[in-house]
Structure 1
Amino acid sequence: MARRPSSYTEEDFESLEGRASKTEQKKAVQRMAALGEQLATLSPKQIKNLPVEERLIDALLDAQSITSHEARRRQFQRVGKLLRNENESVILSYLTPKQGLKKTAQLNRWVERIIKDGDPVINDFTKTYNATERHTLRQLVLRIHRDIAKQATEEEIAASKLKLFNYVQQVALISDN
């Protein structure tokens, strides 16, 4: 059997850049399941008006009628899996009214502070919102700083900032429980 060369090249690491680790993928699934729980608290009329797949709407309506703890857990895992195919921003926009404009403005300030000041603010944010994954937050901030350093287009920087804001908003929704 051939051995892998002992020294890694820059190309080896570049091919992995931007890919989530297994742990990050699992945490993302857990966040989506928690968002599904938040969506299930909406009224049936609001759920039916969500601009998502019909399967997701049916799964959310089913989740409201399930009383068994284990069955609810499995149902929300399914909802989380279905949510991965949906636009994160649209889903969060339906949950944002539950937070209110004041909370959204506060989260925007958190995002700006995190981008500007880095680790000390990330630590404060992690203490405030217990569902935060410090590593994921750092990776999102690092990507923004990398885009700025590479002088990427405004659209790319804005997309990176939107990903960070969506993550912060998800964490805030989940932590408020």
Structure 2
Amino acid sequence: MHDYEEFDDELPKSKTRVKQEMHDLQELGRQLTELSPAQFAEVPLDDDLREAIDTLHRIKSNEARRRQMQYIGKLMRSADGEAIEAALHRFKERDQQHLRFDRMAEEWRRRLLEEGKAAQSEFFDAYPGADHQHLRQLVRDATREVEKQKPPTNQRKLFRFLRDLFMESE
């Protein structure tokens, strides 16, 4: 073992490494500016950073927005980056879960409308807690809608029913 290996942690960061960390923090700040108001409220931020991001949303000039983003990046240096990243990660997982529920609902809606009773019995086997009567009514209404080539109002109701059922069961 070489003597210099035990001192690797004590070496100062290179200029390139410091710049990369600053860019990473600025990118994290940019991601914060793209959150919905409800998500933004959930993120643990200090008041200065929260105000800087609120200010950015009111700025119209590109140059002023660029400067404000730099200021947000500067404020990010003193923020709890790990807590912010954890919150953003939770939002991403939640979005992926919602997307998965949407895909499941779309697939079941298609099957229920195309395959009829066979798909219904398979669905009730997979989801015994579902409201059987309500689902049958939604399928019946959506099927009539397809046959008469009407706007997909009942198809949307069926989709929402399925998606909500999947969200409750998870």
Q: Which bin holds the TM-score, normalised by the shorter protein? A: 0.3 to 0.5
Q: What TM-score, normalized to structure 1?
A: 0.45
Does 1 or 2 have the higher relative contact order (CA < 8 Å, sep 6+)?
1
Q: Which has the larger radius of gyration?
A: 2
Q: What TM-score, normalized to structure 2?
A: 0.46
